[in-house]
Amino acid sequence: MNVLRILLVDDHAMVRSGFKLMLSVEDDLEVVGEAADGMSAIIAAREHRPDVILMDVQMPGMDGIEATRRIALEDLGRVVILTTFDRDDYLFDALEAGASGFMLKNAEPEQLVEAVRAVGHGHGLLAPEVTRRVIERMTGGGSSERPEPAEVASLTEREREVLVGLAKGMSNAEIAKELFLGEATIKTHVSNCLAKIGVRDRVHAVIYAYEQGLISASR
């Protein structure tokens, strides 16, 4: 079994304890470390090399957004931002810093568990209700005519079709069904797409696809 290693970052010990209790009952999840502020999170991430980091936003000293930015730069793990505030600035700042997901702390326990699994296995996590806000904010509401970048030109026709599928929010299974291909083949195409366009995960692939006009916000 592939066990996902998790680092918990929150300045409230009770919150960390609650998350640890919630996650530790799952056979495929293991909490390997905890931190109470951003700088401690970076140090712990360097030590434990977790697969997933659950990161609070508001903490004393270095906040979760700056910690996420540094963790992403060093590629120390995939970050899921956890906050009690459904605020656009947190969401956009977190994604621009390199976070792979964003969840509210009042999410149901099973949602948190599935979020950790999704991000740990290389999938981005963005709630459907905030997807359009992200796209409109981070792409300026749409893409104007521009020369096609070299990364997009390097995609094969099939890889381009897969990237468009990702941008529509489709799962690997749904893309496979639409393109009459196996899921394993789609998984390979997804990995190739992410590598060629230079993004960390599916969330940032979606943003990239809209930025480059591969799909419009109205579709």
For 180, phi then psi, to 5°, come to: 60, 45
Using alpha carbons only, give the angle 53, 56, 60 rounded to the nearest 5 degrees: 120
Asked if residue 219 belongs to a domain, the reply is no
CB atoms within 10 A of CB 157: 7
Asked if residue 11 belongs to a domain, the reply is yes
As given in the structure block, the two tokens for residue 5 are: 């290693």
Which DSSP helix (H) or strand (E) runs through 104? strand 101-104
Residue from 48, 110, 57, 108 nearest 80 by CA = 57
Asked if residue 218 belongs to a domain, the reply is no
Q: What is the mean pLDDT of residues 159-178?
A: 86
Q: What is the mean pLDDT of residues 28-35?
A: 96
* Same domain, residue pair 160 and 200: yes
* Same domain, residue pair 114 and 196: no
Residue percentage of the chain with pLDDT more than 90:
46
As given in the structure block, the two tokens for residue 154 are: 């390097």
Q: Would you say 104 and 130 are in contact if contact means Cβ atoms under 8 Å apart?
A: no
Asked if residue 131 belongs to a domain, the reply is no
The contacts of residue 31 (CB under 8 Å, 6+ apart) are: 6, 7, 8, 19, 20, 23, 24
Higher pLDDT, 4 or 171: 4
Q: What is the mean pLDDT of residues 142-148?
A: 58
Higher pLDDT, 161 or 169: 161
Place of tokens 């300045």: 11
pLDDT for res 210: 77
pLDDT tens-digit map of 50-107: 999 999 999 999 999 999 999 999 999 999 988 776 676 777 788 888 888 888 788 7
Q: How many domains does the chain have?
A: 2
pLDDT for res 219: 45
* Same domain, residue pair 88 and 151: no
Q: What is the mean pLDDT of residues 157-162?
A: 92
* Same domain, residue pair 106 and 143: no
Residue from 105, 100, 106, 108 nearest 80 by CA = 100
* Same domain, residue pair 85 and 179: no
pLDDT tens-digit map of 103-134: 878 878 888 898 899 888 877 666 555 555 66
Asked if residue 98 belongs to a domain, the reply is yes
pLDDT tens-digit map of 71-80: 999 999 999 9
pLDDT for res 69: 94
Place of tokens 């020369």: 147
Asked if residue 217 belongs to a domain, the reply is no
For 125, phi then psi, to 5°, come to: -135, 115
What is the residue range of 170's domain? 137-211
CA–CA dist 166, 214 (Å, integer)? 11
pLDDT for res 205: 83
* Same domain, residue pair 90 and 170: no
Q: Which among 126, 157, 172 is the end of a domain?
A: 126
pLDDT for res 177: 92
Q: Which among 82, 100, 126 is the end of a domain?
A: 126
Higher pLDDT, 27 or 104: 27
For 146, phi then psi, to 5°, come to: -155, 155
Residue 149 clears pLDDT 90, i.e. is over it = no
CATH number at residue 143: 1.10.10.10
CATH number at residue 24: 3.40.50.2300
Lowest-pLDDT range, 5-19, 44-58, 168-182? 168-182
Q: Which among 83, 106, 126 is the end of a domain?
A: 126
| Confidence category of residue 48, pLDDT binned at 50, 70, 90 | very high
* Same domain, residue pair 96 and 73: yes
